[in-house]
Amino acid sequence: MLEVLKNQRIKVIAVGDYYVSPETMVKAVEQSPLNVSEMITCFWGDDDQQAFAARQINVERNGPEAEAYAEGIDEEIVDADVLITHFSPVPRSLIEKGKNLKAILTCRGGLEHICVEAASERNIPVVNVIRNAEPVADFALGMILALTRNIAVSHCGMMQGEWMKDFPNSAFTTTLSRLTVGLAGVGNIGMELAIRLKALGVTLIAHDEYTTQERLAKNGLGDMRLVSSLEELFREADVVSLHLRLTEENLKVINRNYFSLMKPTAYFINTARGGLVNQEDLIQALKDKTIAGAALDVYDAEPLAADSELRKLDNVLLTPHIAGQTVDAIPNSPFMLMKEVGKIIKDGIADRIVNNHALEKEVL
């Protein structure tokens, strides 16, 4: 894999953007074991946050070909050994120009911006880092508590002068330890959430085609039951928390069929990707009280429209895609990435190498 980089002097291209600057990437590389002979920096995207967000969403939804990559790479990639990016697209055409490319590194967990297929064909390892697993897990736990115990809605009522005692879910409000939480996906974020929930005495079930009971046991979750299908998960859980990776194959996969399986006392949480859910089907389920409620941090279009039907519902908790935003998660991501690279070079341990199309296993 990356053993070839141990002693060889290499040329590195670092592509920063609005959130992760090229200068931060340079500092991280300087603290890494990479033996750099030449460092080229580029900038991708816009200095305007909203414009950058629009391009980011386009790439997440439509892949690395959806937006042009950073200017200035074409000439430099020809003899580069390592390409480091945060969100700049890495399409097939760019990978094919990198005749000497030995690794592609990215400061985030999602790989929608990289043509992993083209990298795998060339046997070029792609290394990513799950920078915000803990912040998102914390946030998802907070959403579960706020939704099931009416914390958010009662706060809004208090601010409007109301003293609320009755809620749509009053007949079945209970303690967290009496609930069964179902995790759709047990990658890094799902695993962190499971660890937190177990500490609170919650019964856990999960569906993940790429994990095993042995992996769960190594993380202290040997008693968490893996169910055979998403259908079974949605049918059994009192709370379903979504932690899947968005692909072309699972776009809007969570639809009315799944919501119809849920108990009328059950809740749906999404801190993963808005594109995983058929939003209209979810809105209808909430309107019809097919499910008790939902908490959403992500949407099929962002920012959420001012006239969205979601804003008119009394059984939904909405936040503006902030689950992963802490003061340290994104700025520290290049350093986390270089720490991962250092582990691979030193010990050959590849927790975050994605190759041969094993994306789901690594970044669910």
Catalytic (active site) residue 321: yes
Catalytic (active site) residue 302: yes
Edge-to-edge strand list for the sheet holding 126-127:
36-43, 10-16, 82-85, 103-106, 126-127, 353-354
For residue 145, the model assigns a pLDDT of 98
Catalytic (active site) residue 273: yes
Catalytic residue among 55, 113, 243, 273: 273
Catalytic residue among 60, 232, 302, 309: 302
In whole angstroms, what is the distance from residue 360 CA to residue 250 CA? 12
| Structural domains of the chain, with CATH | 3-131+330-363 (3.40.50.720), 133-318 (3.40.50.720)
pLDDT beneath 70, residues of the chain: 1-4, 6, 347-364
For residue 342, the model assigns a pLDDT of 87
For residue 343, the model assigns a pLDDT of 82
Residues facing residue 182 across a β-bridge:
205, 240
321-358: burial string, b at 16+ Cβ within 10 Å, e else = bebbebeebbebbbbbbbebbebbbeeeebebbbbeee
Catalytic residue among 61, 225, 235, 321: 321
- Report how far apart, in Å, the C-alpha atoms of 59 and of each of 50, 54, 87, 229, 344 are: 14, 9, 9, 29, 28
For residue 276, the model assigns a pLDDT of 96
In whole angstroms, what is the distance from residue 235 CA to residue 182 CA? 10
Instruction: Render pLDDT for 188-243 as a digit per residue (tens, 0 to 9).
Output: 899 999 999 999 999 999 999 989 999 999 999 999 999 999 999 999 999 999 99
For residue 348, the model assigns a pLDDT of 62
Instruction: Render pLDDT for 97-124 as a digit per residue (tens, 0 to 9).
Output: 999 999 999 999 889 999 999 999 999 9
- Report how far apart, in Å, the C-alpha atoms of 9 and of each of 4, 5, 125, 161, 276 are: 10, 8, 18, 67, 42
